[in-house]
Chains A and B, each alone.
Chain A
Amino acid sequence: MQGALIAVEGLDGSGKSTQIHLVKRWLELEGYKVFFTEWNSSLLVKSATRKGKKRLLLTPTTFSLIHCTDFADRYERQILPLLRAGYIVLADRYVYTAFARDAVRGCDSQWVRNLYSFAVAADVTFFFDLPLDVALGRILSARPKLKYHEAGMDLNLSSDSVESFRIFQGRIYEEYKKLIGEYGLVVIDATQSIEKQQGEVRKIIAEKIDLPQYRWRILR
């Protein structure tokens, strides 16, 4: 594989999307071949996911499978070909999001790991670690209306969506913590300033990835 894969993981509200956006801008402006992809965004699968979520048709297994289908579609059509073509691929959430969420929904963790075993490991995966209360505070103060699945309402944790979200996110955080050691995720202290975090992230990327080989070759 000629390309490089960089992924970010973290709770909702951890600031990971901001950080990966800044990584993207940095690499683009430095003249590297970059492609960005985010969780749950394949157009083809979207209509099924939307329908399933709207009509509350999803079970833990179909929830897991439909997200994996979405991932596979992006993987087979974009991520893998672009890696083979020598791009730096940036992923806002990668397989670990599924490992954490599906485990919380009761899916067998070995089954879920097998499901995603077709995907290459990222060269580096950052975990933006923010204390649960802070992450909850950011989401709950900015966006009081939580979507059904986002709040984990399908788990019957609480009939109150905010309370359900708290419990759900707490469980996901516990799962993430297990994954950090198991997969060697690079933990970034997300309580720091945006600039400080980005500085750390860029430094680690520059160390782990031989960036100059990803520069656009200008044909004269």
Chain B
Amino acid sequence: MSPRQFYGTPPPGADPASLGGKLLVIEGADGSGRSTQIAILNNWLERNGHATVQVGLRRSTLVSAELDQAKQGNILGRVTMSLFYATDFADQLDNIILPALRAGFVVVADRYIYTLMARAIVRGCDRAWVERLYGLAVVPDVVFYLRVSPQVLIERNFQKNDSLDYWESGMDIGLSGDLFESFFKYQRLMAREFARMQEQYGFQVVDGNRSIKAIAADLQKRVEAAL
């Protein structure tokens, strides 16, 4: 087993040589079908005898409550917001992801550093700063990017919530005072950032405009190849 790679210097105590397991990442906007696909994938993995652990954004015991609170008030600067999310990520990296890999689990990440990086960059944080910040992240075995057209995204968002989410519409950046227009502009900026990262980080693009079943079958095939 060759030691796991990190994007930069591993965090203290990571011990890359001890890390086995698999790290699968699913990226995609809200409404891309991420959660649905992760639930199906998780069942499939466990049916096949793999022990799994799930991680995602804003799930750390350390700062998730504070992040929720901050989002309500919309009072954080962009650097502070990015660092708050990075703290949330690092907490899960140190306390869940790395121990699980060490124990040979399949870790399924509902989004990873890429969403966090794209959000920060779209909000004007320095790209090199953001990339070095997330140098602490372990390189996944595979990253799937569920690509969904903005039109389909907006339909699914309305189906789910009856309204567009303030943050997923990028209203905090002031792209437009109009929520609908801001949503499109913001998602376009995020998609452009993901397109750029796709090459840099070698994402596998999965067409998310298909049926749940078709996407699930596609993902299983790809995961099987990666395990």
Chain A residues with a Cβ under 8 A of chain B: 44-45, 47-48, 51-52, 57-62, 65-66, 68-69, 72-73, 75-77, 105-108, 110-111, 114-115, 117-118
Verify A62–B75 contact, CB threshold 8 A.
no
A selection of 27 A-B contacts at a CB cut-off of 8 Å is A44-B69, A44-B75, A47-B66, A51-B62, A57-B91, A58-B62, A59-B11, A59-B12, A59-B94, A60-B12, A65-B87, A69-B84, A69-B87, A73-B77, A73-B80, A75-B79, A76-B77, A76-B79, A77-B77, A105-B12, A107-B12, A111-B8, A111-B135, A117-B129, A118-B79, A118-B126, A118-B129
Chain A binding site: helix, strand, loop or mixed by DSSP? helix
Task: Count residues of chain B with CB under 8 A from any CB of chain A.
Answer: 33
Verify B9–A65 contact, CB threshold 8 A.
no
Task: List chain B residues, Cβ under 8 A from A48.
Answer: 62-63, 65-66, 87
In the complex, B61 has a CB within 8 A of chain A:
yes
Task: State the CA gap A69–B9 with chains docked (Å).
Answer: 20
Task: Output the nearest chain A residue to B125 by Cβ-Cβ distance.
Answer: A118
CB distance from A177 to the nearest CB of B (A): 22
Known A44-B66, A57-B62, A111-B135: A72·B77 in contact at CB below 8 Å: yes
Contact of A65 among B66, B77, B79, B83 (CB under 8 A): B83
Verify B76–A44 contact, CB threshold 8 A.
yes
Task: State the CA gap A75–B78 with chains docked (Å).
Answer: 11
Interface residue ranges of B34-75 to A (CB < 8 Å) = 61-63, 65-66, 69-70, 75
Verify B132–A114 contact, CB threshold 8 A.
yes
Contact of B62 among A66, A76, A105, A114 (CB under 8 A): A66
Task: Output the nearest chain B residue to A59 by Cβ-Cβ distance.
Answer: B94
CB distance from B62 to the nearest CB of A (A): 5
Verify A66–B87 contact, CB threshold 8 A.
yes
Task: List chain B residues, Cβ under 8 A from A76.
Answer: 76-80
